Amino acid sequence: MASPNFEKDIDILLNFINNAGITQIDFNQGLDCRLLDEQKIKLISKLNIKPLRLAFDNHSEDTHIQESIKLAQKYGFNDIRVYVLYNSEDNNDTPEYFYYRINEINRLGALSYPMRFRPIDKLNGQYISDKWDKKLLRALKLSLMFYYSKGMVRRNRMAFKQIYGQTPEEFKNKLYEIFEKDKIREKEAKKKKSDSIFSLELFK
């Protein structure tokens, strides 16, 4: 994206694609929205990239991501997916700011792909940022597993509001509700398992 020969690079890719008979490209890394402009989006649209992947990981990408999504839609990109980092060490990475980011993406008709941050020395999944807590992280994971597919927040605006609410505070409250409901479900499941074992013991 930062190449001084960006247009030439696109031409090289186009020639390769045409000669190889490739009909579609998938860049599985998020393009840096801070480096995108209308000319670059226009050139990229010639490559038939599907899906188009971007990232909204921190405050420095705010306003740039919104503009990039709008430009991408203008030039025919219908499948736009945005990586959203959370639980990171960034001081701005709060549950409230996470909600702001996925809400902005959803409002503009793109898909969010939340990505939980895990430090290299804590790959067991135990790391919890001091801006987040165990309940919120668990509930967010559950919401992505049961309300959506493939871990992505889909474009349906009404469903988004029903699941995550219309404000950051409502978002947090809904996640805490999901966590508590899951605790009750787990407790009931354990009780049923215990009752089943007890019933089997009676017939031994």
145-172 per-position pLDDT tens digit: 988 878 899 999 999 999 999 999 999 9
Give SS3 for 18: helix
Q: How many domains does the chain have?
A: 1
Q: Please report whether residue 28 resides in a domain.
A: no
CA distance 8 to 16: 13
Which residue(s) pair with 153 in the sheet? 112
Q: What is the pLDDT of residues 87-101, one digit of tens each?
A: 999 999 999 999 999
Q: Has residue 148 been placed in a domain?
A: yes
* Nearest Cα to Cα of residue 83 among 101, 62, 71: 101
The pLDDT value given to residue 203: 37
In a domain, 46, yes or no: no
Q: What is the pLDDT of residue 199?
A: 46
At residue 193, φ and ψ (nearest 5 deg) are -65, -45
Give the list of residues 6+ apart from residue 105 with CB closer than 8 angstroms, or none. 56, 65, 69, 82, 84, 111, 112, 153
**Structural contact between residues 112 and 153, judged by C-beta atoms closer than 8 angstroms:** yes
* Residue reference for tokens 């995108």: 36
Q: Pull the structure tokens for residue 190.
A: 């354990």
How many C-alpha atoms does 53 have within 13 Å on its Cβ side? 12
Q: Which pair of tokens denotes residue 123?
A: 């790959």
**Residue 107 covered by a domain:** yes
pLDDT tier at 204, thresholds 50, 70, 90: very low
Owning domain of residue 163: 51-202
Residue 126 lies in a domain: yes
| 143 falls within a domain | yes
CA distances from 102 to 12, 74, 113, 119, 154 (A): 35, 21, 9, 22, 10
Q: What is the pLDDT of residues 95-138, one digit of tens each?
A: 999 999 999 999 999 999 999 998 888 767 689 999 999 999 99
At 200, the pLDDT band (50, 70, 90 cuts) reads very low
Residue 147: φ, ψ to 5°? -95, -25
Contact 136, 95 (CB under 8 A): yes
Q: Looking at the domain assignment, is residue 165 inside a domain?
A: yes
Q: Considering just the CA atoms, what is the radius of gyration of the chain in Å?
A: 21
d(CA 102, CA 115): 12
| pLDDT of the residue at 49 | 92
pLDDT at position 1:
76
- Distance separating alpha carbons of residues 6 and 35, to the nearest angstrom: 11
Give the rounded distance of the alpha carbon of 201 from its chain centre.
Answer: 47
Per-residue pLDDT of 40-65, as tens digits, reads 999 999 998 999 999 999 999 999 99
Asked whether residue 106 is assigned to any structural domain, the reply reads yes
